[in-house]
């Protein structure tokens, strides 16, 4: 069975949000998130969860268990392995997501694009802030991310994950040695902070808390919008289809 399609014309990115709102008034459901985007979302969420848990224990190592000598255990080794494996999944998945932003639909590009000079877009950001603060009685309809969500995703995911990947690969390369290919690619990170490895560890660990804060807000907002907004939220990232709760014009 083919996915629902829109009759909207091909658009420039600066026109996308306005066209999305127009589309939302004409149809009860629209196919929004393609399969690669949805797969990346859930794999990325799992990788970040593993990275945060293992990263916390790397920063605050668990005490030695008394069931046997620490020499015969490999607990911290398993923690580090899970962290490194999840880190590579995150990095490779992010490269794949960048690729799909080029070849996917315009919703796939929202994560990497901020229309800085679009005053209407900024007005919508302000409206969404008031909506989340319960200062607006009714939300607007969007096919893709609403402008505030787009802004948050850009700073927390696009920039945040990029920062974590770069600093994480730098720290990983340090363990491989200064003569490794990876260190040749990411050793500049240590130079940028004066050659202090501890600083890179610290900012990488702080970046973890930046991502955790985003995850808490993201989960809350997704559930809240699924209940209170005029379109589906959580199910859309499973099926790819945005379903609207009314056919009224904004």
- Amino acid 200: pLDDT: 95
Q: Is the pLDDT of residue 6 over 60?
A: no
pLDDT tens for each residue of 73-130:
678 888 899 999 999 999 999 999 999 999 999 899 999 989 999 999 999 999 999 9
- Amino acid 1: pLDDT: 41
- Amino acid 28: pLDDT: 82
- Amino acid 37: pLDDT: 96
pLDDT tens for each residue of 50-87:
999 999 998 888 776 555 555 556 788 888 999 999 99
- Amino acid 12: pLDDT: 40
One DSSP character per residue, the chain reads -PPP---PPP--GGGHHHHHHHHHTT-SEEE-S-HHHHHHHHHHHHHHHHHHHHHHHHHSPPPPPTTS-GGG--HHHHHHHHHHHHHHHHHHHHHHHHHHHHHS-HHHHGGG---TT-HHHHHHHHHHHHHHTT-SSSPPP-SS--HHHHHHHIIIIIIHHHHHHHHHHHHHHHHH-TTSHHHHHHTHHHHHTTT-HHHHHHHHHHHHHHHHHHHHHHHHHHHHHHHHSSB--TTHHHHSEEEBS-----
Percent of the chain at pLDDT exceeding 70: 84
- Amino acid 77: pLDDT: 85
pLDDT tens for each residue of 12-38:
444 555 555 555 555 688 899 999 999
Q: Please tell me which residue, 2 or 145, carries the higher pLDDT value.
A: 145
Percent of the chain at pLDDT exceeding 90: 68
Arithmetic mean of pLDDT over the chain: 86
- Amino acid 20: pLDDT: 58
- Amino acid 113: pLDDT: 87
- Amino acid 60: pLDDT: 84
- Amino acid 3: pLDDT: 44
- Amino acid 207: pLDDT: 94
Q: Please tell me which residue, 141 or 50, carries the higher pLDDT value.
A: 50
Q: Could you give the domains of the chain?
A: 30-235 (1.20.950.20)
């Amino acid at each position: 069975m083919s996915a629902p399609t829109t009759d909207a014309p091909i658009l420039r990115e600066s026109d996308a949000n306005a066209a999305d709102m127009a589309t939302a008034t004409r149809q009860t459901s629209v196919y929004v998130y393609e399969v690669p985007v949805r797969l990346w979302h859930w794999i990325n969420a799992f990788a970040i969860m593993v990275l945060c848990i293992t990263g916390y224990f790397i920063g605050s190592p668990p005490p030695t268990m008394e069931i046997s000598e620490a020499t015969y255990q490999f607990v911290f080794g398993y923690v580090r392995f899970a962290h490194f494996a999840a880190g590579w999944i995150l990095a490779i998945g992010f490269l794949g997501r960048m690729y799909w932003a080029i070849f996917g639909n315009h919703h796939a590009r929202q994560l990497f694009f901020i229309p800085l000079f679009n005053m209407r877009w900024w007005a919508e950001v302000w409206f969404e802030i008031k909506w989340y603060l319960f200062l607006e009685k009714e939300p607007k309809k969007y096919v893709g991310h609403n402008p505030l969500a787009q802004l948050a995703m850009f700073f927390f995911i696009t920039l945040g994950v990029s920062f974590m990947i770069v600093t994480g690969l730098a720290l990983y390369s340090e363990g491989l040695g200064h003569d490794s290919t990876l260190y040749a690619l990411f050793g500049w990170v240590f130079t940028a902070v004066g050659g202090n490895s501890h600083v890179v560890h610290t900012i990488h660990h702080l970046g973890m808390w930046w991502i955790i804060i985003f995850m808490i807000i993201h989960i809350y907002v997704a559930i809240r919008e699924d209940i209170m907004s005029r379109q589906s939220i959580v199910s859309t990232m499973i099926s790819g289809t945005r379903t609207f709760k009314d056919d009224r014009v904004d």
